[in-house]
Amino acid sequence: MRKDGTCWVNLGDTYASSGGASRHFGYQDPKYKNGRAGNYIEPSAFEQSVQPKSLCLIPQCFAIEMVNRGWILRNTIIWHKPNCMPSSAKDRFTVDFEYFYFFTKSNKTQFWTNNKTDDCVRKQPLGTKGIEGKDWEYNKNGKKKSLWTGHDYYFEQQFEPMKESTIKRAKSPYYGNKTKNGGYAIDAKSVQKQYDKINELGITTRNKRAVWKIPTKPFPEAHFAVFPEALIETPIKAGCPKYVCKKCGKARVKILDYSDKVNAQWGKRKSNPQGFRDKREMPQKVIKNVNVKEIGYTDCGCNAGFEGGVVLDPFIGSGTTARVALKQGKRYLGIEIKQEYIDIANKRIRKIPETLF
């Protein structure tokens, strides 16, 4: 993977068993349909250390080992499946989610982009020591502000609609509950000032959260681990560039205008008549909303043309990753060892209209 690439891994967990029939394979006698005859698989040291009926913590162990090997865990995403399969177990809750990990390789700046000139470079620019209007400009406080932004890896910020409850609060003249002495627990005036600005700017979006509610989809072919396309649309859009220079390999980065950014904050909560004070008295941010405007893309200046970034799926299975990559105008590489699945994948990939390219 490129140093400025991203890695996304979806893992479910399983329960430890007590062994028995599940540890036999290759039965020879037809009357032993449950597989008790044949070879016996000795449990590993890890399996012996986990009590029967306990979750094996496979996703967590995987994430820890990835970090131990130098990967950077940026997010643990929860894939919530509202239409999950019902469970027959009566002594635990039905599991309706899986883990989706977001890793990167680099925590050092790989390239820089200029929000004003649209330049993209791999060598660290001069910043505030450079040329005014090209490398820096004065901010509202009269201080030098660099126009260059460093990137440890390629990532296009994703947004989602603001919750309806938040929009309703923005229309309320007060927010918070009255205390026993008749005052408001929150400095309503300062909060209202921020909410008025939200209404004025028409802000209705926020940075995408890490719990994704995505229903599973039925699949008619003979493959039993097919995830819905909606699950990987965001990772591919966020982590793989649509335009990569054919000559230098630099990715075009989308330039966004955050001038309408609003950070509403709580005021300090007042003490009650008894003088009781708690954590709620501390100022806390409650809203961090953005109404971004797309200005354009950076340009490396090679004038050699661009092509889609590459999405690698080492377990491509039925080809879902390839389909989503192609729909977004990107390329793909898939690895699969079972010919039956390769045939299914090729059949599904061919259905993507050529007009998309």
Residue type, 34: N
Res 260 pLDDT > 90:
no
Q: What is the pLDDT of residue 282?
A: 39
Of 156, 194, 191, nearest to 176 (Cα)?
A: 191
Neighbour-count burial of 267, counting CB atoms closer than 10 A to its CB (0-12 exposed, 13-18 middle, 19+ buried): middle
Of 58, 20, 16, nearest to 41 (Cα)?
A: 20
Dump pLDDT digits (tens) for 337-353. Answer: 999 999 999 999 998 87
Dump pLDDT digits (tens) for 148-177. Answer: 999 999 999 998 887 777 666 655 544 444
Kindly report the number of other CB atoms within 10 A of residue 18's CB atom.
10
Kindly report the number of other CB atoms within 10 A of residue 210's CB atom.
10
CB of 236 closer than 8 Å to CB of 313: no
Q: What is the pLDDT of residue 328?
A: 95
Res 296 pLDDT > 60:
yes
- Secondary structure class of 9 (helix, strand, coil): strand
Determine which of 1-10, 14-23, 316-325 has the lowest per-residue pLDDT on average.
Answer: 14-23
Q: Give the Cα separation of 204 and 266 in Å (integer).
A: 20
Quote the percentage of the chain above a pLDDT of 70. 69
User: And the tokens for 276?
Assistant: 């009781």
Res 43 pLDDT > 80:
no
